[in-house]
Amino acid sequence: MSVLLELRDLGKVWSIARTGESVVALEAITLDVMPGELLILLGPSGCGKSTLLQIVAGLEKPSRGEIRFPDRNGSQKLTSMVFQEYALFPWRTVTENVVFGPEVRKVPAAERETTARRLIDLVKLRGFETRYPHELSGGMRQRVALARALANDPAILLFDEPLAALDAQTRRVLQDELARIWAETGKTFIYVTHSLQEAVLLGTRIVLMTARPGRIKRVIEVRLPRPRSLTRRAEAEMLETLDDLLRDEVKHAMEAET
């Protein structure tokens, strides 16, 4: 299978205008993303995993290095983002939010409607089409955001801690939903999280990142059958391994801060 996305020696340096300092957010990120993966970017907060996602999305420019989609040509955008804070347009109904992408790309109205109906069914929001975001629960809002991101039919969906703002029960339900939608759509997911459980439950590969500067510490294949459960032994063992690795990093991050 050919590589979908190549990251070559990516680096990002933020300069803080007030103090004149510069902070290395990302360093020497080299990674190949294969089609159909559910790639987890896991790391302590401040490790630059969100920055990496923004760079892949084209919303931030890397300070150095290259980002390539080898098999694609043309300028059509290949990624869509799902944000932690949903970022839904409050003045648009569920359907109007979902069709935002096709609308700005001037897709004919009839086609937009078909897409909206299909995706609203996929994320199980039928009956809520004419609701405004403030009339929905957090979990439902994130379903809308997911449908909106899928509406552009991107090759890669980018998730920036999408479930971090939700309560534990809703998060659990949506984790299963995301796994189902990943399997049903066959899309490539790049998924940023700081939750070990989420990484083990969802990922096909886990990229463990270090803190400040954000580097790749370890890449771990997860070859566990689905549906996964954290109460099973294989999952529990993987969780423990990750926990040890991550704890080191958090410690380093905290030492660096003091």
Check if the beta carbon of residue 39 is closer than 8 Å to that of residue 33: yes
Among 85, 129, 176, 235, binds another protein (CB under 8 A): 85
Structure tokens at 16: 């803080």
Bridge pairing between strands 5-15 and 38-42: unpaired
| Cβ–Cβ < 8 Å for 210, 43 | yes
**Structural tokens at position 169:** 């029960």
Q: Determine if 152 is a binding residue for another protein (CB under 8 A).
A: yes
Q: Is residue 230 part of the contact set for another protein (CB under 8 A)?
A: no
Quickly tell me which residue has 């969780």 as its tokens.
239
Counting contacts by CB under 8 A, is residue 81 touching another protein? yes
Bridge partners of 6, per DSSP, are 32, 68
Closer residue to another protein, CB minimum distance, 159 or 211? 159
* Choices 99-107, 172-180, 188-196, 213-221 (CB under 8 A): range interacting with another protein: 99-107
Q: Does 101 bind another protein (CB under 8 A)?
A: yes
Note whether 80 binds another protein by CB under 8 A.
yes
Nearest distance, CB of residue 254 and another protein, angstroms = 28
At residue 17, the 3 state secondary structure works out as: coil
For position 128 contacting another protein by CB under 8 A, the verdict is no
Tallying the residues shown for the chain, one arrives at: 258
Binding site for another protein (CB under 8 A): 57-59, 77, 79-81, 83, 85, 87, 89-92, 100-101, 103-105, 132, 134, 148-149, 152
